[in-house]
Structure 1
Amino acid sequence: MFMQGTGPLQMTTPASIEQKALFYRGRPVGVSLRNGQGVSGILCSVQGGQIYLIQYLYATQFATFHYGYNEIADNLPYPSC
């Protein structure tokens, strides 16, 4: 898990949605939404309190969707094969 801390005796706290999204920009990610759904795609951009994912639709079609930080429970990178 991506964690941050201030020293060896300090408790670590999970990184914010924004920090993680900035770190994972350009990578395939899975996003858990607060409504219980999940989405996945390439994290293209992080701006204005939102993340932008390019997601596969069907056949040869892709679309960019955006999700506000307040809609997101967590975002995680895809593991390697």
Structure 2
Amino acid sequence: MNWQYKIPYLMGQPVGVSFTDGTGTSGILCDADGGQIYVLEYLYHTQFALKHYDYKTIQDLLPFPPCQPTLY
């Protein structure tokens, strides 16, 4: 499935973004408009940044998996 079709289902959710250059990032998908996605990313301490990425730089957009219970 083309990653662009996932956008409506992932809006407001934590996502991983895979870029065509082999790097990636993660955050909350806040918006998608004008050929760009907008992701709220954690920086440090109490700071967050809304960053935008062009569609042409994105390879895939993935939802975070659910947490698995840890057995000790």
Normalised by the size of structure 2, how large is the TM-score? 0.88
1:58 aligns with 2:44: yes
CA distance in 1, matches of 2:61, 2:25: 10
The residue matched to 1:79 in structure 2 has which SS? coil
Cα root mean square deviation, aligned:
0.8
Which structure is higher in RCO with an 8 Å CA cutoff and minimum separation 6? 2
Q: CA deviation at 1:20?
A: 1.0
Letter in 2 for 1:39: T
**Larger radius of gyration between Structure 1 and Structure 2:** 1
1:9-32 per-position Cα deviation (integer Å, ceiling 9, x unaligned): xxxxx1x23211222000000000
Letter in 2 for 1:57: L
CA distance in 1, matches of 2:4, 2:48: 24
1:68 to 54, 57, 62: 54
Q: How many residues align?
A: 67
Aligned to 1:19: 5
Aligned-pair identity in percent equals: 52
Give 5+ residue unaligned stretches, structure 1: 1-13
The residue matched to 1:62 in structure 2 has which SS? strand
Aligned 8 A contact 1:18 1:46 in 2: no
4+ residue stretches of structure 1 with deviation over 2 A?
none
CA distance in 2, matches of 1:69, 1:61: 25
1:77 aligns with 2:58: no
